[in-house]
């Protein structure tokens, strides 16, 4: 077995974990076959030894304690730190600046490790950092569904407060086409098990994942699964994909047809309209999402959320195009920003210069996304 290589962090975390310490429990994704996901492609999955994760926690504790006692980070670097210790020092300093309240366990599926190992890691975190209020992680439904209720309760009792699950869709058709490796029933089973164990649940829905052909099916099936689970959070993400990716590789005779913003607005509206008798917070907390202002709590805010979509759908095509370009270019955050004359003028000028019209706006934005991805500019 390879000896300890020093403190490690993986590539991603949810936006809601911006203030969290990132602790890497596993490397990459144990599944790694979803056709739309390039995050861990060509990276091999591995479990980090529990002793290595514990060593990471101890390093953070040591540096955070020294910094709290008044040491400056430059004094610590002068202590002949080995290069493998610097990342822990930087992570400790950043976490200290954020108040040391939350920890996010990486990478794609921490729940895949043996429950007793996860419990040991969580207990060590709690022992070192008793002030931490929230410990969260990504998890695959498949992994959560396999864990016994008793083990899940032990994990929750040891301190795992929330899991983020990439549901993407609950349409079995689409799940198969995108090679997600789970079914609607597995999503529902995993969600219910997490909630029963007392773990907060965040479900991510990928708008546009069914393309234009399966948009309604995606909305209806996903709303049905969410109604059965009643997760704490429903979070929308917008699919953006290189044209070279064969999204429906799991079903070779069906070709993915990307959907326009109008179709996606209708998709989100249908999904929200179908959410019944649940108490989830609904969020659209990613800057690339067209309707970032979707942020409310069910059931009270259902009409408010639906009205955002209805307003966009009911606009004149010229206004819709202005909003699409203004949101994607960073001039607007919400629909009402269109009423700010100076910003609207800037967007109109941008459309004029770029030759963007209501007829070609989706094609033009699609091309811009392709260019951005080709250049590796993050969203
Ligand atoms: S399970 Fe998650 S991280 Fe793994 S390939 Fe699918 S989307 Fe990507």
| 376 CB-contact burial (10 Å; exposed 0-12 / middle 13-18 / buried 19+) | exposed
Which tokens is 131 given? Answer: 């002030």
What single-letter DSSP state applies at residue 12? -
State if residue 308 touches ligand 1 by the CB under 6 angstroms criterion. no
Q: What is the pTM of this model?
A: 0.94
Query: 177, 250 in Cβ contact below 8 A?
Result: yes
**Rounded distance between C-alpha atoms, residue 164 and residue 43, angstroms:** 21
pLDDT digits (tens, 9 = 90+) for 216-267: 999 999 999 999 999 999 999 999 999 999 999 888 889 999 999 999 999 9
**Rounded distance between C-alpha atoms, residue 23 and residue 371, angstroms:** 33
Separation of CA 270 from chain center: 22
Q: Which residues contact 353 (CB under 8 A, 6 or more apart)?
A: none
Among 230, 238, 247, 243, CA closest to 282: 230
Q: Which CATH number fits domain 140-314: 3.40.50.720, 3.40.50.850, 3.30.300.130, 3.30.750.200?
A: 3.30.750.200
8 CA from centroid of ligand 1 (Å) = 20
Q: What is the mean pLDDT of residues 46-75?
A: 91
**Rounded distance between C-alpha atoms, residue 205 and residue 202, angstroms:** 10
Query: 142, 181 in Cβ contact below 8 A?
Result: yes
Atom of ligand 1 nearest to the CA of 168: 7
pLDDT at 78: 58
Q: What is the mean pLDDT of residues 295-302?
A: 98
pLDDT at 282: 98
Which tokens is 230 given? Answer: 């009643």
pLDDT digits (tens, 9 = 90+) for 315-338: 999 999 999 999 999 999 999 999
Longest dimension (CA), the chain: 65
Q: Is the peptide bond before 299 cis (omega within 30 degrees of 0)?
A: yes
State if residue 32 touches ligand 1 by the CB under 6 angstroms criterion. yes
Q: Is the pLDDT of residue 3 over 90?
A: no
Among 143, 132, 130, CA closest to 194: 143
Instruction: Indicate if the alpha-carbon torsion angle 148, 129, 96, 100 is positive or negative.
Output: positive
Q: Which residues pair with 200 in a beta bridge?
A: 162
Instruction: Give residue for tokens 């399966």.
Output: 214
Residue 323 phi, psi dihedral angles, 5° rounding: -65, -45
Shortest-distance Cα residue to atom 4 of ligand 1: 32
Shortest-distance Cα residue to atom 6 of ligand 1: 34
**Rounded distance between C-alpha atoms, residue 263 and residue 168, angstroms:** 17
Among 159, 162, 268, 218, CA closest to 36: 218
Query: 40, 107 in Cβ contact below 8 A?
Result: yes
**CATH 3.30.750.200 domain range(s) in the chain:** 140-314
Query: 123, 131 in Cβ contact below 8 A?
Result: no
**Rounded distance between C-alpha atoms, residue 356 and residue 38, angstroms:** 30
pLDDT-derived band at 85 (thresholds 50, 70, 90) equals: confident
Among 333, 208, 328, 321, CA closest to 271: 208
> Count of alpha carbons within 13 Å of 299, Cβ hemisphere only?
7
pLDDT at 81: 77
Cα distances (angstroms) measured from residue 142 to each of 108, 109, 188, 193, 375? 12, 10, 10, 12, 34
Q: Is the pLDDT of residue 74 over 70?
A: no
Query: 118, 110 in Cβ contact below 8 A?
Result: yes
pLDDT-derived band at 275 (thresholds 50, 70, 90) equals: very high
Q: Which residues pair with 24 in a beta bridge?
A: 106
**Rounded distance between C-alpha atoms, residue 295 and residue 308, angstroms:** 10
Atom of ligand 1 nearest to the CA of 36: 7
State if residue 166 touches ligand 1 by the CB under 6 angstroms criterion. yes
Shortest-distance Cα residue to atom 5 of ligand 1: 32
Q: Tell me the average pLDDT of the chain.
A: 95
**Rounded distance between C-alpha atoms, residue 194 and residue 4, angstroms:** 32
Which tokens is 275 given? Answer: 């959410």
pLDDT digits (tens, 9 = 90+) for 116-158: 999 999 999 999 999 999 999 999 999 999 999 999 999 999 9
Atom of ligand 1 nearest to the CA of 107: 3
199 CA from centroid of ligand 1 (Å) = 21
State if residue 34 touches ligand 1 by the CB under 6 angstroms criterion. yes
Query: 348, 322 in Cβ contact below 8 A?
Result: yes
Angle between helices 50-68 and 115-128 (to 10 degrees): 10
């Amino acid at each position: 077995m390879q000896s300890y290589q020093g403190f490690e962090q993986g590539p991603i975390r949810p936006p809601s974990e911006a203030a969290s310490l990132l602790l890497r429990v596993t490397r990459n994704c144990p599944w790694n076959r979803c056709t739309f996901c390039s995050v861990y492609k060509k990276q091999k999955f591995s479990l980090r030894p529990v002793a290595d994760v514990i060593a990471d926690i101890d390093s953070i504790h040591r540096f955070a304690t020294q910094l709290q006692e008044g040491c400056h980070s430059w004094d610590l670097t002068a202590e002949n730190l080995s290069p493998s210790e610097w990342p822990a020092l930087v992570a400790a300093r950043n976490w200290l600046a954020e108040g040391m309240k939350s920890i996010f366990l990486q990478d794609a599926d921490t729940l895949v490790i043996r429950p007793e190992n996860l419990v040991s890691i969580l207990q060590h975190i709690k022992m070192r950092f008793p002030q931490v209020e929230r410990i969260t992680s990504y998890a695959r439904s498949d992994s959560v569904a396999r864990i016994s209720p008793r083990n899940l309760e032990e994990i929750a009792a040891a301190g795992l407060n929330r899991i983020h699950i990439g549901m993407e869709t609950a349409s079995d058709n689409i799940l198969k086409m995108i090679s997600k490796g789970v079914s609607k029933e597995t999503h529902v089973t995993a969600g219910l098990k997490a909630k029963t164990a007392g773990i907060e649940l965040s479900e991510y829905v990928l708008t546009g994942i069914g393309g234009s052909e399966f948009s309604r099916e995606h909305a209806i099936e996903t709303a049905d699964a969410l109604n059965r689970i009643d997760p704490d959070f429903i979070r929308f993400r917008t699919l953006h994909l290189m044209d070279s990716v064969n999204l429906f590789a799991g079903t070779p005779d069906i070709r993915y047809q990307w959907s326009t913003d109008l179709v996606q607005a209708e998709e989100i509206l249908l999904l929200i309209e179908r959410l019944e008798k649940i108490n989830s917070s609904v969020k659209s907390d990613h800057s690339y999402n067209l309707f970032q202002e979707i942020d409310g709590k069910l059931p009270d805010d259902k009409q408010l959320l639906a009205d955002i979509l209805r307003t966009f759908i009911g606009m004149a095509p010229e206004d819709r195009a202005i909003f699409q370009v203004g949101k994607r270019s960073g001039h607007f955050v919400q629909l009402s920003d269109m009423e700010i004359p100076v910003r609207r003028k800037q967007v109109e000028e941008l459309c004029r210069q770029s030759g963007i019209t209501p007829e070609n706006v989706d094609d033009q934005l699609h091309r811009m996304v392709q260019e951005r991805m080709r250049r590796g500019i993050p969203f």
